[in-house]
Amino acid sequence: MAPETPKPPATANGGPPPDEKKPVGPPSGLSAIPSQYTAEQGLRQSMKHIGYDEAREDGYRLKGIQLIDSVRQSLQLPVKTFDTAAIYYHKFRVRFPSNEYNYEDVALAALFVACKAEDTIKKSKDILCAAHNLRQTHDHKTPDDKIFEAPSRFTVGLERHILETIGFDFRVQYPQKLLIKMARKIFPREHGQSGEEGRKFLRVAYNMSIDLYKTFAPIKQATFTLVLAILELTALFLDTDSARVDEFKKAASWHSERACVLETMLDLLDLYTQFPKSTKVGVEVALSKVMDVKIVINNMVAKDKHQRYHGWCDRCAPDVLDNRSVTPGSATSPATNSSLPGSGSAKRKRAPSEGTQRFVFDADEARKEKNLVSRYFNDEYEEHEVEVEEPVREPEPRHPVQGSHSYRGHGNGRADYGWPSHPRSSRHGHPSDRHRSRRGHPGRS
């Protein structure tokens, strides 16, 4: 006998079941739609949850990205591995404070995961050895040294926490490839020209694409938005002819929005204003030039009536503006709180996303899974009315039956059946008392 085909579940209001030709998706609660990008407001809420300290965490963010870039160049890894590692590092840092994980440990573990994700596989000991040789040039080590045994085990253990944090979502954008194509379109190779201006423009733009990952812009914006912001900001820094980049100012034709491009440019300008020595382009451009360009961008935002952060909700603003409070553990420096096994950071947290992200691309497979799982999660009830006759219990006697000798407190070995106690009087005394009084009555023999 063939198994019965499960019936489609009815809607909550008793209406017809949804059209099976247009599946809504996998069952709710079992699968989730991962979001590749996070808005500024969402980032601030995450940072508020961990007690983000601006003065401390911004420095560790820059140092971590710089460490990833230095180790990547030492191991001769491609730039796409750097992009992936930087995004993993940012996503982990906005969910876990630095007093639980050393920023150096997280940066090296993120690079280790990125090497696997981008198929540029390197052993954990190779990454740790390269970082050690960069920090201590006088003490050169090899990856086979025993000093890397314990850190290697911890890096492999931290890899699992990074995978849980990103939800096994390995989608990462690489703006450098698209940036080179657009730069060549701005400065085409013409016959008889050296192309010195184009090479200088591309060099500054490429370095700016590396500096961009020292901000949160890569986890907020898409690839086209990042590239358009880099091109326009580079043109403003180098005073390039505006006619060359006018084509790229139409963000709608490049699958982007003008407000997002302006937000990315302001993020870069904030980086060059506050931390110029920690960037590649900030040390080459004068601070006065950066301030002039920032004024121009702010005037564009005010003229077009855009917000500083695209998609900002004014109702939620009071809840996220005070997100950079100092926590009791903020005074603890990662230099003295190494994330090694046995330390206080051994108690790990789970990521806010529960479980593992699953990706179902086939609609038929999603429908089959939904029908298969629905039989275990749908609660079905049937109401039945049953008449039951309950027997009427007879009332229990309040006094003992005549001739019975089951009295309380006699000690004759008989049990007390729970009859209610009553005070004894001279009229209803004990039978033995009545006999004794009769025997002692005058006039009887």
CATH code assigned at 128: 1.10.472.10
Which domain-ending residue is among 256, 291, 323?
323
Q: Same structural domain for residues 150 and 279?
A: no
Q: 168 and 42: one domain?
A: yes
Co-location of 167 and 229 in the same domain? no
Sign of CA dihedral 307, 312, 318, 324: negative
Residue pair 235/244 in contact (Cβ under 8 Å)? The answer is yes
Of all residues in the chain, the percent with pLDDT exceeding 90 is 23
Per-residue burial over 403-413, b if 16 or more Cβ lie within 10 Å, else e, is: eeeeeeeeeee
CB 312 within 8 A of CB 40: yes
Domain edge (last residue) among 303, 323, 343: 323
Q: What is the mean pLDDT of residues 5-13?
A: 51
Q: How confident is the model at residue 25 (pLDDT cuts 50, 70, 90)?
A: low
pLDDT number for residue 407: 47
User: Contact at 8 Å (CB) between 120 and 81?
Assistant: yes
Going by pLDDT thresholds of 50, 70 and 90, the confidence category of residue 345 is: very low
User: Does residue 241 share a domain with residue 273?
Assistant: yes
Which alpha helices (DSSP H) does 16-123 contain, by range? 40-49, 54-74, 79-93, 103-117
Note the pLDDT of residue 167: 80
Identity of the amino acid at 81 = T
Mean pLDDT of 320-326: 40
Separation between Cα atoms, residue 47 and residue 52, nearest integer Å: 5
Q: What is the mean pLDDT of the chain?
A: 75
> Which pLDDT score, from 0 to 100, does residue 251 have?
67
pLDDT of the residue at 41: 80
Least confident of 30-34, 330-334, 428-432: 330-334
CA–CA distance, 151 with 156 (Å, rounded to integer) = 9
Instruction: Give the DSSP H/E element, type plus range, for residue 242.
Output: helix 242-245
Stated pTM of the model: 0.66
Summarize the confidence of residues 20-42 as an average pLDDT.
63
Nearest by Cα to 332 from 347, 344, 322: 344
Residue 23 confidence (pLDDT): 55
Arithmetic mean of pLDDT, 395-405: 63
**Residue 93 domain-assigned?**
yes
- Residue 256: Cβ-neighbour burial (10 angstroms; 0-12, 13-18, 19+): buried
Residue 28 β-bridge partners: 31
Give, in order, the Cα–Cα distances in Å from 177 to each of 180, 227, 396, 423: 5, 10, 96, 104
Let me know if residue 41 belongs to a domain: yes
User: Please, are residues 280 and 210 in contact by the beta-carbon 8 Å criterion?
Assistant: yes
The answer on 218 and 91 residing in a single domain is no
Q: Is residue 311 part of a domain?
A: yes
Of 119, 138, 172, which residue is a domain's last?
A: 172
Residue at 368 is within a domain: no
**Rounded-to-integer distance, Cα 187 and Cα 199, Å:** 9
Whether residue 41 is found in the same domain as residue 155: yes
**pLDDT given for residue 6 in this prediction:** 52
Residues 230 and 312 in one domain: yes
Enclosing domain of residue 213: 174-185+197-323
What region, left, alpha or beta, does residue 163 occupy, with left being phi > 0 and alpha being psi -120 to 50 degrees?
A: alpha
Cα 25 from chain centroid (whole Å): 22
The set of residues, in sequence order, having a beta carbon less than 8 Å from that of 120 and lying 6+ positions away, is 77, 78, 81
Same domain, 115 and 131: yes
Query: Residue 15 burial by CB count (10 A; 0-12/13-18/19+): exposed, middle or buried?
Result: exposed
For residues 161 and 230, state if they share a domain. no
Q: Is residue 223 part of a domain?
A: yes
**Per-residue pLDDT for 294 more than 60?**
yes
Mean pLDDT throughout 417-445?
50
The per-residue pLDDT for 390 is 84
Q: Give the residue with greater pLDDT, 169 vs 262.
A: 262
* 297 within some domain: yes
Q: Which residue has the higher pLDDT, 351 or 107?
A: 107
Q: Are residues 122 and 235 in the same domain?
A: no
pLDDT of residue 265: 92
Q: Are residues 166 and 178 in the same domain?
A: no
Q: Work out how many domains the chain is built from and give that number.
A: 2
pLDDT in tens, 149-202: 888 999 988 988 898 888 887 888 889 999 999 888 888 876 445 578 888 999
Question: Between these two residues, 165 and 72, which has the higher pLDDT value?
Answer: 72
The confidence score (pLDDT) of residue 205 equals 92
Which of 388-392, 397-401, 410-414 shows the lowest per-residue confidence on average (mean pLDDT)?
410-414
87-130 tens-digit pLDDT:
999 988 888 877 788 889 999 999 999 999 998 888 899 999 99
Q: Are 68 and 82 in contact (CB under 8 A)?
A: yes
Q: What is the pLDDT of residue 12?
A: 47
Long-range contacts of 262-265 (CB under 8 A, 24+ apart): 262/229, 262/297, 262/300, 262/301, 262/304, 262/306, 263/40, 263/217, 263/220, 263/221, 263/308, 263/309, 263/310, 264/212, 264/217, 264/220, 264/221, 264/225, 264/226, 264/229, 265/229, 265/232, 265/233, 265/297
Instruction: With respect to residue 53, please indicate whether it lies within any of the assigned structural domains.
Output: yes
| Statement to judge: residues 273 and 232 lie in one domain | yes
The residue with greater pLDDT, 350 or 188, is 188
Q: Is residue 191 a part of any domain in this protein?
A: no
